Amino acid sequence: METLLLDHEAVEANAPMADVTSAVSDAFAAYERGNAQMPAKSYIELDRYNGDFRSMPAYLDAGEWDAAGIKWVNVHPENAQKYDLPTVLGTMIYSDPTNAFPLAIMDGTALTRLRTGAAAAVATDHLAVEDATSLGIVGAGVQSYTQLEAIAAVRPIKEVVISDLDEERVERFIDRYSDEFEVTAGSVADAAACDVLSTVTPVTEPIIDRSMVSDHTHINAIGADAPGKHELGDQLLAESTLVIDDFEQTTHSGEINVPWSAGVLTDDDIHAALGEIVVGDATGRTADTGFTVFDSTGLAIQDVAAAHVVYGRAQAEENGTPVSLVDTTVR
């Protein structure tokens, strides 16, 4: 038995967005039905290095398949300046739940981008208007690419407005997608005026307020992943149909963490968890639904679901680098 090593190119090559989105939807359903185990994300704070490590283990049984794994990920804001490395690095260990054999070790950074886009696509599919043709994205970093690719797979997106303070990032994004979409640079307000909006920034002061969005807008709030981060104004959140991925994570470090801690938002302000909508226990968009918000913190079950897709396709295509990681002669 051998373990597959899959670098970022192999992960991306073996992850058709439609398949990843379907698997992530299955993961939300399994979690809601109680067919998943996902211990709380644990943190190791590294103040001397201005960074942290996070461990994200999970197991899920989706019915036709089950999967297990753990992602080891970090946030080191000074990496780019000091070490010419990304701020966030991740490694996924994907294991056979029947015997614990490590089936694959894969780039968790690429996997994170893919599953985050897929989660937004699942939410968009349930919460955005059916004829949504415009997508605004605030933040032109690496997450913006999979936001567009995933959301365009579930809605007929034609126009894209990209907003970022870094003009070079904006130009790179436009160059990448100008052949497929009508892509323009715009202000935050321009992006917020679209049918669907994804915010992927690290801000701690809200940049989107209620006046910027229409009554049919759907918002994927992606950027908040730590206490204190906050992209959407409190009034906007309070008046929205608010959907979360996981109560513990969103109240601790998701988009709602600041107003929740201040008592501005309560349980009554949360419409549902996305898993409840996926399995039909709560409603998605109806004719009476106004603007909607999906608070996405990123769940370990999503990583495991995406890894399931990547490993299965890599096996079928016979790619990746096999290594004899485990000495199977030892009993």
Q: Is 142 annotated as ligand-binding?
A: yes
Q: Is 41 a catalytic residue?
A: no
Strand partners of residue 92: 71, 106
Q: For residues 48 and 42, is the Cβ–Cβ distance under 8 A?
A: no
Q: Is 108 annotated as ligand-binding?
A: no
Q: Is 158 annotated as ligand-binding?
A: no
Q: Taking the CB of residue 185, how many other CB atoms lie within 10 A of it?
A: 16
Residue 73 corresponds to which tokens in the numbers above? 């990920």
Q: Taking Cα atoms as reference points, which of 54, 107, 110, 93 lies closest to residue 249?
A: 54
- CA–CA dist 204, 214 (Å, integer): 23
One-letter amino acid for residue 191 of the chain: A
Q: Taking the CB of residue 184, how many other CB atoms lie within 10 A of it?
A: 15
Q: Is 296 annotated as ligand-binding?
A: yes
Q: Is 224 annotated as ligand-binding?
A: yes
Q: For residues 40 and 286, is the Cβ–Cβ distance under 8 A?
A: no
Q: Is 309 annotated as ligand-binding?
A: no
Q: For residues 90 and 56, is the Cβ–Cβ distance under 8 A?
A: no
Cα-based distances in Å from 294 to 21, 124, 127, 165, 291: 16, 8, 9, 24, 10
Residue 320 corresponds to which tokens in the numbers above? 């990746």
Residues carrying an active site annotation:
71
Which amino acids are annotated as binding site for NAD(+), given as ranges? 115, 142-143, 223-225, 229, 296
